[in-house]
A = this chain, B = another copy of it.
Amino acid sequence: MAERKARWLWYPGDLELYHALKQNFSRVERGCGWPAFWKSEGFRQRVAFRRVYELTEPTRFRVAVTPGAVGCVDLDGARYPLDAEIPCGAGTHRISIHVGCIACVPAVFVSGGVICSDEGWQVEDYAEPPVPAAFNRYFTDPGQDVSEWPRVETLREPTQAEPVEGGTLFTFPEEFSAALEVETADGSRPMVYLGESRAETLDTANCYYFARPDARGRLPRQALRWAFVPGLTPERVRVRAVEQRVDIPVRARFACDDGELNRIFEVAARTHMLCSDVFFLDGIKRDKWIWSGDAYQSLFVNRYLTGDREIEQRTLTALRGNDPVTTHINTIVDYSLLWILAMGVHTDSYGDMDFLRRMWPKMVSLMDLLRAQRDEQGFLVGRKQDWVFVDWADFDRDGPLCAEQMYLAAAYGTMARFAPEGERTFWLAERERLMAAVERCFWDAEQGAYVDSFTSGRRHVTRHASILAIVFGLVGEARQRLLAERVLHNPATPAIKTPYFRFFELDALCRLGELRTVLDEIKAYWGGMLRLGATTFWEEFDPALPLEKQYAMYGDPYGKSLCHAWAASPIYLLGRYFAGLRAEPGAPEGYIAAPAEGFFTRLDCEFPWRERQVTIRLGAE
């Protein structure tokens, strides 16, 4: 008999929702907890796992549950306690495992030679019909506590212990998330200051994160590259870091004849991997929250770097929460739309139609929420409790915002692509109607541009609507060229100020074939951070400023995140447009790998493409 693979089981989505709560409540800054400020949705606290067995011979089994959970095992109508060995004779048997847990996901692990928690269990929540129970590769040991996501630990020693003002500054070679271990000569437990920059770490009055070691000498897991212990000289204090990361293998490498580009790829990869924990995080020092807009960009990087679909599914599941849905993801209307688009991007990347089918009702219900708040012309507007974000930019926000409608049109397109046969025309018609209304109301033929607002009369133009029209393919080639000329290359149009939206602009430029411009930008912007000594890429960067002016943001002297997921986009840009690996439905393997011409004399790289590795080589063999 083949070995049965038992593992922990839970109601689909609940483990993600529990750990998302933990993640979004984990931010601590200057001694203040800062739980994410959006509707925080819980896991199911009462579920039942069910299965029917046909046994040819007697067997025994045992059920473990989440610590603190209550419940019992119902075998053919007789109840047994949890954690007891239960005998079961030959014949047909109905097993139900009832579990309730307030503080954590109610999960079960069934151990036994025949009866065990492998494939085949159903779970129900007393609201919807039973569904197959969920599991993953991280929770396969009956001794585990599902409230703790397992992380690989690596010991890291500082490269320097430097006496500074009567204390000791420890320097690590690179930034990471770690539990610091502190050993003092006198056994004291001193306050320890951690920082992403040397300046932040030594500025104890303004440093973001400080803590005292616990009784074992450990600090909570936190992002750091430097650690400062005031009042103890290097002979009297030692630290080492236990780096903790979720096990997700990197499956890409990039080597070309431009050493700077190679280093950009490498540091972008570090940045992405540090922000790839249980979920895609925006940054590892700040916010440590799961934002839909940030996660959307991480999907593009992730498919070229790890090909790990599980972190994408965990993130998409956690962001979306349960039905019925009443609030927008992270309270932001465009982040709900980006989640719909993300479902399309993810499905394109991995072709996981099971996941799509499972999430499809939630795509429809989220679209229902969005559609319910359209005005009489079909334009999406924010409700009182909503945030219409798009970008930090000086939009003319009177009435419906054009860029928001572009997201909506793209979302209609995603729905149309994945809808069941009979429903496609509905979504296509929605998109067509919307784009016709956009053309009628927002298109300014004289300026050759979309105006932000048609209700104010100000005819104000920003880049955003044009960029989105291009990257989502919402307009034809001629219009795209016109937008490039009249908006993107028009110095009068205000420049994109955030790296967040710069992702869309660079993608648009690549789609327009302007690779030289993009490569120059990559080298200037990301290369510029490297020249200032970055070991991870930053939330924002102004090449005109010296290092000591780089740390401030949001009015805070160290507010900027120096390891920020959206800064990893060169992975995607280099992989897709320069190494030239992209989906091609007609191709034998579903992709083509055609490096861009005129940029590299030598190229040796490898990327994941679903289950396979794609090697791309140019020049010297």
Contacts and interface: CB of A to CB of B under 8 A. Distances in A.
B34 A72 contact: yes
Interface in A139-154: none
A38 B104 CA distance: 18
B126 A32 contact: no
A108 to B, nearest CB: 13
Nearest to A48: B37
Contact of A126 (B39, B43, B101, B324): B39
Tell me how many chains of this kind the complex includes.
2
Nearest to A21: B102
Interface stretch (A22-30, A188-196, A242-250): A22-30
Contacts of A33: 70-72, 81-82, 98, 100
A484 to B, nearest CB: 40
A470 interface: no
A260 B103 CA distance: 49
A236 interface: no
A48 B331 CA distance: 15
Contacts of A35: 46, 70-71, 98-100
Q: Which of A36, A44, A70, A326 has the most CB of B within 10 A?
A: A70
Interface in A114-138: 125-129
Contacts of A128: 385
A201 to B, nearest CB: 20
Interface string A305-348: 00000000000000000001011000100000000000000000
A315 B308 CA distance: 47
A21 B127 CA distance: 16
A18 interface: yes
B103 A102 contact: yes
A279 to B, nearest CB: 16
Nearest to A96: B37
A369 to B, nearest CB: 11
A553 B191 CA distance: 64
A483 B102 CA distance: 48
A39 B47 CA distance: 8
A481 interface: no
Given A103-B102, A326-B324, A80 B45 contact: no
A160 interface: no
Interface in A40-62: 40-46, 48
A29 B40 CA distance: 34
A457 interface: no
A98 B24 CA distance: 13
Given A25-B70, A28-B70, A326-B127, A98 B34 contact: yes
Nearest to A71: B33
A30 to B, nearest CB: 7
A43 B73 CA distance: 27
Contact of A102 (B25, B82, B100): B25
A327 B21 CA distance: 25
A126 B70 contact: no
Contacts of A80: 32
Q: Which of A21, A29, A46, A73 has the most CB of B within 10 A?
A: A46
A45 B34 contact: no
Interface string A443-459: 00000000000000000
A45 B21 contact: yes
Contacts of A384: 129
A39 B48 CA distance: 11
A385 B129 contact: yes
A35 B126 CA distance: 12
A10 B36 CA distance: 18
A127 B327 contact: yes
A230 B81 CA distance: 22
Given A35-B70, A80-B32, A25 B385 contact: no
Given A324-B326, A327-B127, A39 B46 contact: yes
Nearest to A72: B32
Nearest to A18: B102
Contacts of A21: 45, 100, 102
B46 A45 contact: no
Given A102-B22, A324-B324, A385-B129, A40 B34 contact: no
Q: Which of A28, A30, A100 has the most CB of B within 10 A?
A: A100
A31 interface: yes
A331 B126 contact: yes
A433 interface: no
Contacts of A22: 102
Given A25-B100, A35-B46, 14 more contacts: A18-B102, A21-B45, A31-B81, A32-B80, A32-B82, A33-B70, A33-B82, A34-B98, A35-B98, A37-B98, A42-B43, A103-B103, A127-B385, A324-B324
30 contacts: A18-B102, A21-B45, A22-B102, A28-B70, A29-B79, A32-B71, A32-B72, A33-B70, A33-B71, A33-B81, A33-B98, A34-B72, A34-B79, A34-B98, A35-B99, A35-B100, A37-B98, A37-B126, A38-B126, A39-B126, A40-B44, A40-B45, A40-B126, A42-B45, A102-B103, A126-B331, A126-B385, A127-B385, A129-B384, A324-B324
For the complex of A and B, the 5 pairs showing the least CB-CB separation, nearest first, are A35-B100, A33-B70, A32-B72, A103-B103, A40-B46
